[in-house]
Amino acid sequence: MNLTIYHNPSCSKSREALNHLIDKGYQTNVVLYLKNTLNKKQLQKILVQIDMNAIQLIRKNEDDWKSIKDRNEFSENEILELLVAYPKLIERPIITNKNSGVLGRPLEKLINFLKKNKP
C-alpha cells in the first residue's frame, strides 16, 4: 500500500506516525505541507478521504485561530481558505492512500486504519 503523510517534522505526533509507517515497511510519500502548501482543491480531497469537515481539521489551540474574530461563524469554504492561508492551523498528521485516509492522532487511529486497509 502506497501512503502519503502530510507531515510536520516539528510535531512529535507527526514524527511518531512517520516512524511507525517506516518501521512497518510502508512505502510513504512525505508531504511537508508547511513548505509545499496545499491548495483548496487538495484540502477538499483530503477531507473527503478522511471523512471530516474543515472545522474538524483546525488546530483550535493555535494563537492564529484564537485571534480570529467571529471564527465560529465561518462557512466551510471560509475555513478552507483559512487553512490554505495558514497551513500551520492544519491538524496533523494526515495519512492517505488512494481512496481513504485518517487523521493519525493518536497513533492508534493510524494503526487501526492500517489494519483495515491492508493490501
Could you report the per-residue pLDDT of 56-90, keeping only the tens digit for each?
A: 999 998 888 888 888 778 899 999 999 999 999 99
- What are the residue boundaries of the structural domains of the chain, listed by start? 2-116
List Cβ<8 Å contacts ≥24 apart for 45-50.
46/6, 46/94, 46/96, 46/101, 49/96, 49/99, 49/100, 49/101, 50/94, 50/96, 50/100, 50/101, 50/102, 50/103
- Contact between 97 and 3 under an 8 Å Cβ cutoff? The reply is yes
Annotated catalytic residue, options 3, 11, 43, 94: 11
- Residue 119's pLDDT is 67
Q: Could you tell me the CATH superfamily of domain 2-116?
A: Glutaredoxin (3.40.30.10)
78 catalytic residue (yes or no): no
- 32-57 pLDDT, tens digit per residue, is 999 999 999 999 999 999 999 999 99
Predicted TM-score (pTM) above 0.85: yes
The torsion of the CA quartet 93, 18, 41, 48, rounded to 10 degrees, works out to -70
